[in-house]
Amino acid sequence: MHIPKQLSSPIVVVAVSSLLEVTAACGGTAPPSAQANAASAPAAMASSGDLHGTCDDACLPPKVKLEPLCIPDSSGYVDNWCQNLCVNTNFLSAGDTIRAGDKWTPVFTWITNAKGGALPNFPLKYPASYTAPGYLLNDPLLIFWTYLHALRITVDPGTNQERVHYYPKPHEVMRLLPYAELNPVLCKQTSDPFQQELCLFPAAWFVGVLHPLSVGIHTIVAEWSFSDPICDGVDVYVPFDCMPSGWNNALVPSWGSDHLTITVVPRP
């Protein structure tokens, strides 16, 4: 489903002073057992609830945590995306700008209905033709996690500077958190019961850190591959709620666009 526009906030660009590909930071993620492909033991994971992490779960044991932590901006604000996704990077959506030499991460996610259709305004809903094992139908996030096969990010497709980042183990570059963990202020402020339930939806967020880009305007395409069709249990529309097996654009469900355009400027 779409990242709800009424709940989405501008992504604050966070300066990265470390070249570490992944830096343990200030928030949380799903327990380590959920980092493995659920396809190896999907029933056990469905019953254990491992896929539904919160920021109370540690990114890494304290002795393993790496410096620096999330870097505050000039006002002292620490990007909540950086904190809770446990990665030190520049999280970018369409139209954002970063500096030459900065590493970056395109923002995209798969948001699903709650396990068991537990939210009053959102009973589990699937197309009449959609089939999957019962334990998966009861937990739409587990459908995504079980059938996710690969990821790829293409920079400047079809040009002489095209670069493809391929992830054959996609679960290693995803984090599992409720939507509210990424927009806690907005979700606490809303008094609309419908929006409050949206904030409780579980989600899988891409956190792969990509190498710096050259100065200029760049087009980014993100795709994911599934071994079987997936649905989010919220509604029945393709590609926002369901996707077929094989390669699918990963940006459309989040942003309604098949690409992001970002700008890289010289460092001052």
* Predicted confidence (pLDDT) per residue in 41-69, tens digit: 333 333 333 444 433 333 333 333 333 33
Alpha-carbon Rg for the chain, nearest whole angstrom, is: 18
CA distance 76 to 169: 35
Q: Is omega for the bond preceding 268 within 30 degrees of 0, making it cis? A: no
pLDDT at 103 over 80: yes
pLDDT at 4 over 50: no
The C-alpha angle 143, 147, 148, rounded to 5 degrees, equals 110
E strands, the chain, where?
Answer: 90-92, 97-99, 104-106, 109-111, 148-155, 163-167, 174-178, 202-206, 216-226, 230-231, 242-243, 246-249, 260-265
**What pLDDT was estimated at residue 30?**
30
pTM: 0.72
CA distance 168 to 134: 27
More confident residue, 75 or 133: 133
Instruction: Taking residues 117-126, report their average pLDDT.
Output: 92
- Which residue ranges make up each domain of the chain? 32-265
**What pLDDT was estimated at residue 162?**
95
pLDDT at 18 over 50: no
In single-letter form, the type of residue at position 121 comes to N
Instruction: Taking residues 141-149, report their average pLDDT.
Output: 95
Give me the chain's average pLDDT, please. 73
What are 51's two structure tokens?
Answer: 């896929």
**Res. 93 pLDDT band, cuts 50 70 90:** confident
